[in-house]
């Protein structure tokens, strides 16, 4: 539990720092998505998540602890969507709900990318997610891979 909590808090703090350092809201959103998708790219991060994500590990964790870890990661995403809803940058009716949906889609895509046979297949899934989120928010997403 202590290991899981420490890793979750450190990862969430790092994600928050990188999102806050983004140059604009679209870049902040793309940064958040890429941080979560990083589980499919970063071997060390993926291995650590695999150990902590085993049914034995998850079974030993209180469901509230898992929920808390996910909530820590959604905080910077919700902050971005809340800020841009106020200034009209994105079309979002409900930043909290939209953050939850984007989070769920991103985690699902990360899982699929982890099973992808090639880097090209992973990139195609990432591009599809960015396109979908962009259409949902009525904004062109930043593709850091081609910046």
Q: pLDDT by residue (tens digit) across 15-60? A: 999 999 999 888 999 999 999 998 777 766 665 555 545 455 556 6
The pLDDT of 115-123, averaged and rounded, is 90
Average pLDDT over the chain, rounded to whole? Answer: 83
- 18-22, 62-66, 80-84, 139-143 — which is least confidently predicted? 139-143
pLDDT category, 81, cuts 50, 70, 90? very high
With tokens 């769920």, the residue in question is: 104
């Amino acid at each position: 539990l202590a290991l899981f909590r420490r890793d979750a808090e450190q990862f969430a703090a790092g994600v928050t720092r990188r999102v806050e350092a983004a140059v604009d809201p679209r870049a902040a959103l793309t940064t958040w998505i890429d941080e979560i998708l990083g589980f499919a790219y970063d071997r060390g991060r993926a291995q650590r998540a695999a150990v902590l994500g085993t049914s034995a590990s998850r079974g030993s964790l209180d469901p509230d602890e898992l929920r808390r870890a996910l909530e820590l990661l959604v905080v910077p995403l919700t902050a971005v969507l809340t800020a841009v809803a106020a200034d009209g940058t994105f079309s979002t009716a409900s930043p909290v709900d939209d953050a939850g949906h984007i989070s769920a889609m991103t985690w699902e895509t990360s899982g699929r990318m982890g099973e992808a046979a090639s880097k090209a297949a992973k990139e195609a899934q990432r591009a599809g997610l960015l396109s979908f989120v962009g259409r949902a928010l009525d904004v062109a997403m930043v593709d850091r891979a081609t910046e």
